Amino acid sequence: MRHRVQKKRLNRKKSPRELLVRNLATSVILYDGVKTTKAKAKLAGPMVEKMITAVKTKDAMNAVRYINKYLLDKNASRKLMQEIAKKYKDRQSGFTRISELGPRAGDNAPMVKLELV
């Protein structure tokens, strides 16, 4: 039963939704930020936070296994392990930021920029 369990569904089935969030997380790590809708950013942000925390706390082998479950690009996992982990070694949390950009011209959807701090 799923009483009182609430998830954002983004009007998609499970597999396309999970792939969309994984793709957004990969893009945030590769390009240090991405412009997307507010609902999508709220789903991808915590995933990026958890991956950065895992890289900082787990040993290298388990961290690589954990982040490769979610990231779609080997360059993203390499960048996360080598550059981003060093950048945030003194920071406990709050690795991502959501900045509002205003409504999208076509459908008035609230657009935001999800970026690494």
Q: Where does residue 44 rank: exposed (0-12), middle (13-18), buried (19+ CB within 10 A)?
A: buried
SS3 95: coil
Per-residue pLDDT reduced to its tens digit, 53-94: 999 999 999 999 999 999 999 999 999 999 999 999 999 999
Q: What pLDDT does 15 receive?
A: 96
Give all domains of the chain, ordered by start, each with its CATH number: 17-116 (3.90.1030.10)
Q: Where are the alpha helices (DSSP H) in the chain?
A: 14-31, 38-57, 60-70, 74-79, 85-87
Per-residue pLDDT reduced to its tens digit, 13-27: 999 999 999 999 999
Q: What pLDDT does 2 receive?
A: 79
Indicate the pTM of the whole model: 0.89
Rounded Cα–Cα distance for residues 100 and 79 (Å): 26
Per-residue pLDDT reduced to its tens digit, 28-47: 999 999 999 999 999 999 99
